[in-house]
Amino acid sequence: MRKLILQMQMSVDGYVSPANGNLDWQVWGWGDRWAWDDRLKEDFNAVFSGVDTILLSRKIAEEGYLDHWGRAAKNHPADPHYDFARKVVDARKVVLTDKLKASRWERTVIARGSMADEVNALKQQGGKNILCIGGVGFASSLVAHGLVDEFQFFVNPTAVGGGRSVFHDPHKGHKLRLLQSTAYECGVVVNRYAPI
């Protein structure tokens, strides 16, 4: 069975969405401001080589994730650092929502069933792993349903002082097993965990 991998940018104090929405806290902002070092870019691309399906929230899809990386793939056709953008274009995309009637994006389908049913059905299909891209609300729902098989937190060297987390169980918490931790020259640390 293939895995669902949740990738999130995170602050050094554990928030994936800062309380101050105007705070510039990520080493990588969308667009050309991509201050990751070459090794991190290479490792990021390597993750996409093991993925053939991308699960997206409606909000991320409508805010331009697919359009943005489609343009990036066209604008940087020979740059190996943008291999992942070409993989985003080529991968099967699934948008989990009951608010859209049809997809307006290429290679993208709308899944309208319950989150657990749709994700479990995707995991049962053949193929490579599934990468999840979404905001904190979408990610939190996946965590609450126990659907995430691997967490990849890109910890930025900024403390934001408050905000939202993807973890919300104050009674049992969320025990995780560290799979790998890698520090990069740009200050980002990528921590990979599996739920226990």
42 phi and psi, to 5 degrees? -65, -45
Could you read off the pLDDT of 69-93 as tens digits, one per residue?
888 889 888 988 888 888 989 999 9
The predicted pLDDT at position 72 comes to 84
The predicted pLDDT at position 32 comes to 63
- With H, G, I as helix, E, B as strand and everything else as coil, classify residue 42: helix
pTM summary value: 0.92
The predicted pLDDT at position 85 comes to 87
Range with top average pLDDT, 19-33, 91-105, 144-158: 144-158
Fold held by 4-8+34-195? Dihydrofolate Reductase, subunit A (3.40.430)
Instruction: Assign 3-state DSSP to the chain and report helix, strand, coil percentages, each to 5.
Output: 30, 30, 40
The predicted pLDDT at position 69 comes to 86
Burial (Cβ within 10 Å: 0-12, 13-18, ≥19) of residue 22? exposed
CA distance 129 to 79: 24
Closest among 29, 22, 16 to 162, alpha carbons compared: 16
Helical spans, DSSP H, in 50-82: 58-62, 65-75
The predicted pLDDT at position 30 comes to 60
Q: What percent of the chain has pLDDT over 70?
A: 97
